[in-house]
Amino acid sequence: MRRKHSIITVFTVIMLVAYILPIVILDPLFQANIRQEITDEYEKLLTDSIEGIAESIEFRIALYEKLFAILSTDSELYLQLTASYSHYVDQWETLHAIRDRYAYIFDHYPGVQDFRIYHVNPELLEDGKWLWKLKGRSLNGETDEEWFQ
């Protein structure tokens, strides 16, 4: 009986030394390592996300600068917006010409969700989609007239 008891004791001690003690000693080290890995991965994810957002913003700025350059140097658009219109048909043809000329913007520039051309020509119509007259509408906390100035 004594021998049986000592075998169980020896087995328990061996189990304690071989399995349980390393777990108790090494567990905090493993947890610290895992915690550091998670922190590093999270920081990398945040950095990559911020860089992606910055690239997206830079792309949109370049896109809007290019569109502004296209619109500001379009002499035909200037002539159409400042022309005198006596007939509704002439206005309608002008509107369709502008739409046809700038319809590619939505196809080639997926970041553009809305596109408006404001004008002050009292003889030219306002279609509510592309051509707009200044009427004091609210636009980002100010009126469209304030924004236009």
Which pLDDT does position 37 carry in this prediction? 92
DSSP string, 91-137: HHHHHHHHHHHHTHHHHH-TT-----EEE--TTS---SSSEEE----
Give the distance, in angstroms, between the CA of residue 33 and the centroid of all CA atoms in the same chain: 35
pLDDT averaged over consecutive 10-residue blocks of the chain (149 residues)? 69 77 80 90 95 91 84 84 86 85 76 77 78 73 73
Which pLDDT does position 2 carry in this prediction? 55
